[in-house]
Amino acid sequence: MSESSAPSETVLLRRGEVHSPADPFATAMVVERGQIAWVGSEGAADAFADGVDEVVDLDGALVTPAFTDAHVHTTSTGLALTGLDLSGAPSLPAALARVREFAAARPADRVLLGHGWDSAAWPEGRPPTRAELDEATGGRPLYLSRIDVHSAVVTTALLDLAPAAAGHADAPLTGDAHHAVRATALGAVTPAQRTAAQRAALAHAASLGIGTVHECAGPEISSEDDLTGLLRLAAEEPGPRVVGYWAEQDADRARELGAAGAAGDLFVDGSLGSHTACLNHPYADADHAGLAHLDADAVASHVVACTEAGLQAGFHAIGDAALTTVVEGVRAAAEKLGLARVRAARHRVEHAEMLTPETIAAFAELGLTASVQPAFDALWGGQDGMYARRLGADRARTLNPFAALLRAGVPLAFGSDSPVTPLDPWGTVRAAAFHRTPEHRVSVRAAFTAHTRGGWRAVGRDDAGVLVPGAPADYAVWRTGALVVQAPDDRVARWSTDPRSGTPGLPDLTPGRELPRCLRTVVGGRTVFVRPGE
């Protein structure tokens, strides 16, 4: 397979496995002018062979819709890919050693940037002190975001550059102090560095079969220039599509910036790891119940403004109290504007982790999309995980109830929140199918749909994310093992390879098995990634 910079007029892919509801036995596909034109059998493909511009021999490879990652911070992802990544550090001394090596290797950087520390996973059980970071950097400005990006540790030199954060105790910074130091740190990134980071993140996404990312930008997370620069880059260069969201209570400003909505990380609360998610009852390991940033009236007014402006509204909400606030606010907006109008706008909630049966039912009633991250459970779930330490085992078992959401009819869109967890679409599907809490597991097919078609539906497109005639030609080609069809019951371990099931097969994602490897990614008929040697 060779890479092309522009779409051929007509391409025939044949001798593979094409994952399409239009034909569960499809082995061939025709793409014409950036759209799927036909899917069908190998025998029927002969009729197209002489009339196409290019024939691609799949050699048994699997073709699926390209994935959509519904929650990404693109620049931060690129900076993590090219900068200091502490996510794999096994201990506090190992993290400090990485800081020391990174500082020595980057003598010209105005501010040192790093991400991914997680003291809950370290034997020492504590983050680095300011004095330890001052020593490791030789007194230079350093910003280190926690893995959930809701708190950070910094050096004295960076605090000196951010007066709004001065005077805080030697502990991870949260809230306004964190936003102040983050703005100062990211402000030191030059436009050229920012563009390079965005380019690196999008190229990495393409190499994983991701055809679309939803950028969750905002004034407390990135900047207006960051969002507009990313949207411009995506429009000008081949790569994944980028749908932008702007997290500010200003629908007009979101529209001016080219965003699909005033949504994404518009914070109703914070995160569990940083003890800032807003709970109905105090944390198990702290004497408070987190922080609330918006009340139900603020949510209602924002939903009304966005609905009337024809834009999506959306909120970041993790704790049960925060999710109740969102539901109350959206319901109040529906009472003012009419339920049908609010439902039609497809407003969305990011993360939506600590749901109750009542809030799940309200999501379904109000037409809210749950934009969720299954890798959070893989990373922090289980009886010994961070969730259990923060909440106690009983409350922790209620988190991320994907099966209950699907049963209620709530639309799901899967993402990573990268760089909080890595871009990893098949790993995300596996995490949902093998949730650490068995009653929350969903089928591989349902998880795959949430990570492909679900992301398109979350932006109001019902005609994409699936390989059927007329759909955008956004697809990925994979080298993988035998395809299987999961049996239609709640036991994930039951599989069927019987083609009479009439359901397109998917890779066996049983933990321990190798995940599919992306060979090619195509967006709108244009090849944006080819694995070297293919």
Q: Which residues of 417-441 are buried (b: 16+ CB within 10 A; e: fewer)?
A: bbbbbbbbbbbbbbbbbbbbbeebb
- How, if at all, do strands 475-479 and 517-523 pair? antiparallel
- pLDDT tens by residue, 98-114: 999 999 999 988 899 98
pLDDT (mean) for 283-303: 97
Choose among 66, 74, 68: nearest CA to 418: 74
Q: What is the pLDDT of residues 15-40, one digit of tens each?
A: 999 999 999 899 999 999 999 999 99
Instruction: Report, as an integer, the average pLDDT of 394-418.
Output: 97
User: Would you say residue 500 has pLDDT above 60?
Assistant: no
Question: Is residue 45 pLDDT above 70, yes or no?
Answer: yes
Average the pLDDT over 149-160 and give the result: 88
The whole-number pLDDT of residue 116 equals 87
**Which of 103, 2, 105 lies closest to 530 in space, CA to CA?**
2
pLDDT tens digits along 506-522: 999 999 999 999 999 99
Range 246-259 average pLDDT: 97
C-alpha–C-alpha distance, residues 140 and 157, integer Å? 6
Give the residue-averaged pLDDT of 414-419.
Answer: 97
Give the pLDDT score at 266. Answer: 97
Strands 142-146 and 506-507: unpaired
Q: What is the distance between the alpha carbons of residues 45 and 63, in angstroms, rounded to a whole number?
A: 15
- Judged against a pLDDT cut of 80, whether residue 222 lies above it is answered with yes
Rounded Cα–Cα distance for residues 486 and 463 (Å):
25
pLDDT score at 8: 60
DSSP-H helix ranges across 294-385 = 296-309, 320-337, 339-344, 357-366, 374-380
pLDDT of residue 9: 83
Mean of per-residue pLDDT scores for the chain: 92
pTM of the model: 0.90
CA-CA-CA-CA torsion sign (105, 109, 110, 111) = negative
Interacting residues of 215 by C-beta distance below 8 A, sequence separation 6+: 72, 73, 74, 227, 230, 231, 242, 243, 244, 245, 264
What percent of the chain is modeled with pLDDT above 70? 95
What pLDDT sits at residue 150?
78
Integer CA distances (angstroms), 58 to 16, 39, 88, in order: 5, 14, 36
Pairing of strands 10-14, 54-57: parallel
Per-residue pLDDT band for 175 (boundaries 50, 70, 90) equals: confident
Residue 121 binned pLDDT confidence (cut-offs 50, 70, 90): confident
Percentage, residues of the chain above pLDDT 90: 79
Task: Give the model confidence (pLDDT) of 381-398 as tens digits.
Answer: 999 999 999 999 999 999
